[in-house]
A and B are shown apart, each in its own frame.
Chain A
Amino acid sequence: MAGESGKIDPMHQFQIEPLAKLDLFGYDISFTNSSLFMLVVLGAIWVFMAGGMKRELVPGRWQMAVEGVTGFINNMMSSSIGPEGKKYVPLVFSLFMFILFANFMGMMPIGIVPGAHAFTVTSHLTVTAVLAVLSFGTVLVVGLWKHGLHFFSLFVPHGTPWWLLWLIPLIELFSFLIRPFSLALRLFVAMTAGHVLMKVLAGFVINGLNAEALWVAPLVALPSFILMIGITLLELLVCAIQAYVFALLTSLYINDAVNLH
């Protein structure tokens, strides 16, 4: 955002601004630009899915695309969990679609409309934390529900030598407990870093073009612009990869809970 001195703050894009004040039991649940984009993402997913709901025997293009996505998640679940994975398809599908659409929604050139700014919901720790807790909570609930206390045998892998029994469960427990944090932080950091990088490069381009010295524009603005095209494409790739990684890791974690190694 251009301030008074032409300074561009790459962090301003993450600012949450309340659009309508709301209050629930003393908690501030204002409708913000973040909430707005969550709804936009939800609406976009709904439109995408509704377009493929004709349920024809011979699918059209749109239905083919929707069936491709559901088939992709179905395959992922059955290959990492097995036949029991079908039960968890709705959860992983929702996680995958929300992250994918939120990531892409943040990349949309909404900024060309004056006054409007794209907001990347998944660049917020609070959002990724909720997603990670949903993923991790499912693993805990499913594991304890299916196996009871036997679930904790997850921390003693097969073939652990007896003289390492004091150490391996500790390490396993640690790696298990760190899962929600790694899930949440990976997505948050990837999206934040990508958007900051793009914004910084965009600042180089704009400030370079506005610079008084004429040599700055071709020497700084042009290479930055070219670099930015590449970074943007890379960022689009990262958007898809992060959604895939989150869904894949969730399916693997659920596999742990369902099949106990």
Chain B
Amino acid sequence: MPQIAQILETYASQFFWMLLVFGILYFVIGRGMVSKIDANVEARDRKIADDLAAAEKARAEADGLVAGGSEALNAARGEAQAKAAAAKAKGAKDAEARLAKADEEISAKLAAAEADLAKARAKAMAGIESVAAEAAADIVAKVSGAKVSAAQAATAVKAVLS
């Protein structure tokens, strides 16, 4: 086995070159390159984490905006409803007032008409009385030949009619 047979002749060379090579490997590659590569990997991981956090934040913001938007929408709807209700109430009041006014006018007209009617009736009644008195006087004169004064006839007719 040359590894053991040659050990006395070669150990110094093997140790020397092994330590030299390993020293270069450790300091140049192990300490230099690996740490740079690790730093790069870490930077990438951090960037990914940051981007994810930013995206998460943006989503939360968007959610907030959506909530705010629906709130504004609700407020606007409430306002519109209040306005509509107010307009309706005002319309109803107006209509009522107009109705009352019309009512008043109508009742005034009605009263006037009734008064006219009463007057006309009274006039007619008076007409009827005088006609009836004349007729009564005529009838009395024709039937009994007695002369009845107009005043007597009117009194008699009034008593019968009323």
Contact = CB atoms under 8 A, between A and B. Distances in A.
Closest CB pairs A-B (n = 6):
A90-B30, A126-B14, A35-B17, A27-B12, A94-B30, A29-B16
Interface of A: 11-12, 14-16, 18, 22, 24, 27-32, 34-35, 38-39, 41-42, 45-46, 49-50, 52-53, 55, 57, 66-67, 70-71, 73-74, 89-91, 93-94, 97-98, 123-127, 130-131, 134, 188, 192
B95 interface: no
A245 B78 CA distance: 74
A125 B3 contact: yes
A28 B26 contact: no
A14 B1 contact: yes
A90 B6 CA distance: 32
Given A34-B14, A90-B26, A91-B26, A125 B7 contact: yes
B14 A127 contact: yes
A34 B21 CA distance: 12
A173 B6 CA distance: 32
B37 A70 contact: yes
Chain B interface residue number, banded? 35 or more
Interface string B1-42: 111101101111111111101101110111101111110110
Interface of B: 1-4, 6-7, 9-19, 21-22, 24-26, 28-31, 33-38, 40-41, 43-44, 47
B37 A55 contact: yes
Contact of B37 (A15, A18, A34, A53): A53
Contact of A45 (B2, B6, B10, B29): B29
Given A53-B37, A70-B38, A94-B29, A38 B2 contact: no
Given A27-B12, A94-B26, A130-B18, 9 more contacts: A11-B2, A14-B1, A35-B21, A39-B17, A46-B28, A67-B37, A97-B29, A98-B22, A130-B14
Contacts of A22: 13
Contacts of A18: 13
Contact of B6 (A15, A46, A52): A15
A123 B3 CA distance: 8
B47 A89 contact: no
B10 A71 contact: no
A38 B17 contact: yes
A17 to B, nearest CB: 10
A188 B3 contact: yes
Given A53-B33, A125-B4, A126-B18, A94 B25 contact: yes
Nearest to A125: B3
Contacts of A16: 2, 6, 10, 13-14
Contacts of B14: 16, 32, 34-35, 124, 126-127, 130
A34 B10 contact: yes
